[in-house]
Chains A and B, each alone.
Chain A
Amino acid sequence: MARKPATATDTQTAAAPSNVSRDELLQYYRDMLLIRRFEEKAGQLYGMGLIGGFCHLYIGQEAVVVGLEATAKEGDKRITSYRDHGHMLACGMEARGVMAELTGREGGYSKGKGGSMHMFSREKHFYGGHGIVAAQVPLGAGLAFADKYLGNDNVTFAYFGDGAANQGQVYETYNMAELWDLPVIFVIENNQYAMGTSVKRSTKSTTLFGRGEAFGIPGEQVDGMDVLAVKAAGEKAVAHCRAGKGPYILEVMTYRYRGHSMSDPAKYRTREEVQKMRDERDAIEHVRELLLQGKHATEDDLKAIDKDIKDIVNDSAEFAKESPEPALEELWTDIYAEDLPQGSAEEVA
């Protein structure tokens, strides 16, 4: 099947599958499928009333975070918005802990006190999960500031959407990140709709990575429905940051199949538009084809992976249903830290 980019531009990176190993392809397939099945299950549990409030699904965007995580090393940090479930699974957080947080239970990553939009893991260097659009951008630059201050070569991935790209604090952050050569990769996940407003309806400057030029930050647009293209661009960005050359911007062109949140009827785009993306550009189908056509895997191999993933997701859902609600005493805990936070610089140093 001919592959067309999510939106056509000249700057997109094409990736040839020839230099990619079978194991890598299988890993991307697995990781992306885990996110998709997990999110479908989350949607189902929301429908059953087991998950409340806001719940923003990542279905359709899986290749972005899976492609970039493939370029990270131990110690690298990541931070994102409220559409965060995929990022957590991709950086190795347990499906059980994420799902149990969605159901507001004791076994969740935040003991049920954060919910879908606010989850964290010191161990996996995942700094949230932020509910205020674009707040994670300066926070991410701050994480990178800490790494530069401590003199290590870690980088930070700061993910945000095309909607957040119109917030003023993004540009204050661009300015300081470049001024101080902070090792941060600004990843704009351009899924083309800020809730119900398309990029074209919110700006005339629609090439979002290009806004970095005003501050001297290099960047590029990437086909976000192609995990290999994302990875290739990510490697370039990471190399730039690790070499101490300052920040880099990746505008990853992607698409969310579901509404902005569970309660979004998505009337701002046609059903045909969504279906066309699913049929022609699906990132998981793409890797599936590469695996089958390259004779890297058989239908049966992939079925076995599908089953494994389904088991992990079902197990996480069971855990999230069985885990008790937090004890009422938890209402009054974690408001203030008594001691040095775990994983602090003094401990790390």
Chain B
Amino acid sequence: MATEILMPALSPTMEEGTLAKWLKKEGDAVKSGDIIAEIETDKATMEFEAVDEGILGKILVSEGSQGVKVNTPIAVLVEEGESADDVKAEAPKAAPAEAKSEAPAASAVEQVKTPEPDRSPDWPEGTRMKTMTVREALREAMAEEMERDETVFLMGEEVGEYQGAYKISQGLLDRFGPRRVVDTPISEIGFAGIGTGAALAGLRPIVEFMTFNFAMQAMDHIINSAAKTLYMSGGQMGCPIVFRGPNGAAARVAAQHSQDYAAWYASVPGLKVVMPYSAADAKGLMKQAIRDPNPVIFLENEILYGRSFEVPDLPDFTIPFGKARIARTGKDVTIISFGIGMAHALEAADKLAQDGIEAEVIDLRTLRPIDYGTIIDSVKKTNRCVTVEEGFPVGSIGNHLSAYIMENAFDYLDAPVINCTGKDVPMPYAANLEKHALITPSEVVDAVKKVTYR
């Protein structure tokens, strides 16, 4: 049967092209794979190969023709003894027109309506508490989950024999052995990729980065391999993995070792992002992170590791993602923070109280998902808001929250939202400069006074 040869699309963007040259003439035999013509696209001159076999019965578009639209018949291929005029054009099935259904919600964030916040307590009233450092809480959470689930293992630099660069994994090698506490060479992209592969195969790796600064070497696997594979596979390939380690400024380690990555990771769909402040949250959220069937970025803080908090003395407790904690209630202003920013926010709230300003302090705890309900409820009550974080100002979590509050509670605001952030500079080494680059409680106090017009 005679078949039409159509003008091909030869690049992702080509809509038309020039038929530069015919390399076969009418009457020539054509085999699959033979180059029959040269076609100029918007990018280059391409060779056009035959797919079907036959005889070039008729050339419909002559050499040198410009602006030939994709899918225009350019020649007719016939079989022995057939005439080109016998062609019964089979109309090409063009790509279907775009589906007519309504476009999804206008907002880029799938957030039709701010959900009701979860106000339940994190643990039952009257639970016995014990005092623990954040370091101990993280260690206990990992150990409990490793006991609970044989597929959970820890890998990273110095996690085993060295007992952890920051001693988070101290004792775990003795308890669980080298199969489950795996020392790696200094190869961030390599072990992040191996961990991700193990998670795709169904294990539950905890990958420790000695600090998140070094995770930039592994960024491709965190984002492209771990976060996106479930979507790209149409839901087949889950990736239950935790990437954890200290994030943000420590002290006097300068620019390459002092950066808060919260906003970077929080911008990526497919990741969950946790940034705890207290030891209780560190423990409950770490256990939740290990059980979560998705890739979780768990941002710890070196300065907080040694701080002590009250932790519920329960054999098994987790804290769900997307549930903020109201650390202090108040009616005059809402201060939203997370991670070490909470230390500044709470200190500022104490000072403000002395001046008669009652601040409500919200600890987001997770940055993906974010508990929008608790934020909006609080802002509707206080009508003023200040956000506090250590990261850079441009594209910060505070920027996002400001926009969200403006869209969803504009009429309740009595003042513009102020974002307190780290300064827009690489972290300096000199002690005095470093102090100025970081966010301080007094800056939070000043911002609150500005939004409360005091």
Contacts and interface: CB of A to CB of B under 8 A. Distances in A.
Contact of B220 (A135, A179, A329, A346): A135
A141 B202 contact: no
Interface in B180-200: 182, 184-185, 187, 189-200
B110 A332 contact: yes
Contact of B12 (A52, A338, A340, A345): A52
A281 interface: no
B196 A328 contact: no
A265 B47 contact: yes
Nearest to A108: B234
B225 A130 contact: yes
Given A328-B99, A347-B202, A53 B234 contact: no
A123 B100 CA distance: 34
B195 to A, nearest CB: 6
A348 interface: yes
A90 B430 CA distance: 61
Given A113-B234, A334-B234, A340-B293, A149 B197 contact: no
B219 to A, nearest CB: 11
Contact of B190 (A103, A147, A150, A175): A175
Given A341-B240, A345-B203, A132 B220 contact: yes
- Contact-residue bracket for chain B: 35 or more
Interface stretch (B87-95, B124-132, B414-422, B437-445): B87-95
Nearest to B23: A271
A155 B368 CA distance: 36
Contact of B238 (A48, A257, A340): A340
Interface residues of A, number: 89
Interface in A138-191: 138-147, 149-150, 168-169, 172-173, 175-176, 179-180
A92 interface: no
B194 A145 contact: yes
Contact of B51 (A43, A135, A139, A333): A43
B425 interface: no
Contact of A262 (B11, B45, B201, B221): B11
Contact of A121 (B193, B232, B236): B236
Interface stretch (B2-10, B56-64, B303-311): B2-10
B230 A336 contact: yes
A147 B194 CA distance: 12
Contacts of B14: 263
B366 to A, nearest CB: 13
Contacts of A144: 197
A341 to B, nearest CB: 3
A139 B226 CA distance: 10
Contacts of A266: 47
Most chain A Cβ neighbours within 10 Å, of B99, B192, B237: B237
A342 B200 CA distance: 10
A138 B235 contact: no
A210 interface: no
B86 to A, nearest CB: 21
Given A49-B94, A263-B12, A173 B232 contact: no
Contacts of B102: 328
Interface of B: 6-12, 14, 32-33, 35, 41, 43-47, 49, 51, 70-71, 92-96, 99, 101-104, 110, 149-151, 153, 179, 182, 184-185, 187, 189-203, 220-221, 224-225, 229-240, 269-270, 272, 293-294
14 contacts: A40-B51, A47-B10, A53-B12, A103-B95, A119-B233, A122-B236, A132-B220, A135-B193, A140-B197, A175-B185, A334-B234, A336-B272, A337-B293, A344-B238
Given A122-B237, A262-B11, 17 more contacts: A129-B232, A135-B221, A139-B225, A143-B197, A172-B190, A172-B191, A173-B193, A175-B185, A257-B33, A265-B45, A328-B99, A334-B235, A336-B230, A336-B272, A341-B240, A344-B151, A344-B240
